[in-house]
Amino acid sequence: MDILWFGVFAVLLLGYFALEGFDIGLGMLLPVLGRSQEGRDRVVAAMAPFVLAGEVWLVAVAGVLFGVYPRAEGEVLFGLYPLVVSLLVSWIVRDAGLWFRRRLDGRAWRAGWDGAICLGSWGLALSWGTALVALADGMSVTPLGLAGGAVVAAALAFHGWTFVSWRLPGQVTGASRGAGALLASACVAAAPAAVLLAGAAPWLLGHTAPADTLNVLSFMILPLAPLMAGGQVWVWRTFGPRGAADRIPSFF
C-alpha cells in the first residue's frame, strides 16, 4: 500500500509538469510567440482548454501530500515558506490573467492581463526550480537554487514551444511537431522533478501515514480513478489538433 500511494504521488507530480508545464512555458513565451494581440489570442486559445485539467494535478499533489505524508507536508511547505508563497501568488496572477483577459473589450485591458499571464508564468517556473533545488539541498535557498530556476524555466519553455507547434502546426512557431515530440518534451519538463523524487523516495516513504488511513484513502479514491483518467483523456481527444474548432471563439 505504501508503494501504491508513492506511485500515485509520483504520477501526480510528474503529470503536473507534463500536463501543466506547457501552459506555464507558453505563458512565459507569450510576448515572443504573440507579438500582436491576435497572435497572443491564438496562443492562449491553443492552451486554454487544457489549463483547468492541467493545473488541478498540483492541487491533487498537495492533497496526497496531506493525506498520505502528513508529517512531511508541514515540513516541506513550512520549510519553503517564501517559495511556496511566491509560487501561490504567481499561480493566482497567471490564472487571473487567463480568466479575465477577454471579460472586457479594449486592447489595454487584454494586453494588461496578458502581461499578468507572462509574469505569473515566470514566477511559477522560477519558484518551482528554486524549490526543487532547495528540497534536494535540505531546504536552503542558495545561488544554485536560482540556477535550478533557470533550468526549469528553460525546460517548461521548450515544452510550451513544442506544444504549440503540435497544436497549431506551422502557425505560431513556424515549426510542426508530432505527438512523439510532445511526449519527449513532456519528459524534459518532468525530468527535474523526477530526479528529486528518486532521491527523496526513501525519506518520503518513511513519512507514510498508517495503514488504516491509507485503506480509507484507497477505498474512497481508487474506484474514482477510471473517471479521473477518463476525463483527462477526453479533454485531450476533444481539444487536440484534430478537434480543429478554431472557428469557435475561445472563452479565455
Partner 1 sequence: MDVLDLARMQFAVTGSLHFLFVVLTLGLAPLVAIMQTLWTFRGDPVHERMTRFWGQIYVINYALGIVTGLVMEFQFGLSWSGLSHYAGDVFGAPLAIETLGAFFLESTFLGLWIFGWHRLPRGLHLACIWIVTLTAYASAFWIMVANSFLQNPAGTVDRGDHLELVDFGALLANPMLTMALPHVVGAALLTGGSVVMGASAYQLFRRTPEQEFFTKSLRLGVVVASVGVVLAVAFGYAQFGPVGEFQPGKFDDKPLAGLGLGFMIMIGSLLQLVVLFFLLPVIRWLPRWRWAHPVVMLMTPLPFLAAILGWLAREAGRQPWLINGRLTVADAMSPGLTSGMVTTSLIAFTAVLGLLAVVDYVLIARVVRRGPAAVALGAGPGPDRERAAALSL
Distances (CA, A) of 30 to 88, 169, 173, 180: 20, 17, 12, 24
| Contact pick of 81, 140, 178, 206 for partner 1 (by CB under 8 A) | 81
* Nearest distance from C-beta of residue 92 to partner 1, angstroms: 4
Q: Which stretch binds partner 1 (CB under 8 A): 20-28, 65-73, 138-146, 186-194?
A: 65-73
Q: How crowded is residue 150: how many other Cβ atoms within 10 Å of its Cβ?
A: 13
* Nearest distance from C-beta of residue 182 to partner 1, angstroms: 19
Q: Cell numbers of 84, please? A: 511556496
* Nearest distance from C-beta of residue 12 to partner 1, angstroms: 8
Whether the Cβ atoms of residue 80 and residue 134 lie closer than 8 Å to each other: yes
Alpha helices in the chain (DSSP H): 2-33, 37-68, 70-79, 81-100, 107-136, 143-167, 179-205, 211-221, 225-239
Tell me if 85 contacts partner 1 by CB under 8 A. Answer: yes
| Contact pick of 4, 32, 35, 82 for partner 1 (by CB under 8 A) | 82
173: which DSSP letter?
A: S
Q: Cell numbers of 172, please? A: 505560431
Whether the Cβ atoms of residue 160 and residue 181 lie closer than 8 Å to each other: no
Tell me if 2 contacts partner 1 by CB under 8 A. Answer: no
Tell me if 106 contacts partner 1 by CB under 8 A. Answer: no
Torsion of CA 215, 216, 219, 222, to 10 degrees: -90
**Contact string 130-169 vs partner 1 (x = CB under 8 A):** ----------------------------------------
Determine the Cα–Cα distance for residues 153 and 58; give it in Å rounded to an integer. 17
Q: Which stretch binds partner 1 (CB under 8 A): 21-29, 54-62, 123-131, 190-198?
A: 54-62
| CB-nearer residue toward partner 1: 64 or 152 | 64
* Nearest distance from C-beta of residue 79 to partner 1, angstroms: 9
Q: How big is the chain by its Cα radius of gyration, in Å?
A: 19
Q: Which of residues 209-228 bind partner 1 (CB under 8 A)?
A: 209-210, 212-213, 216-217, 220-221, 224, 227-228
Grid cell 506555464 in the structure block, residue:
24
| Contact pick of 30, 60, 157, 193 for partner 1 (by CB under 8 A) | 60
Nearest of 74, 90, 245 to residue 153 by alpha carbon: 90
Site residues (vs partner 1, CB under 8 A): 42, 48-53, 55-57, 59-60, 62-68, 70-71, 73-78, 81-82, 84-85, 88-89, 91-93, 95-96, 99-100, 102-104, 171, 209-210, 212-213, 216-217, 220-221, 224, 227-228, 231-232, 234-235, 238-239, 243-251
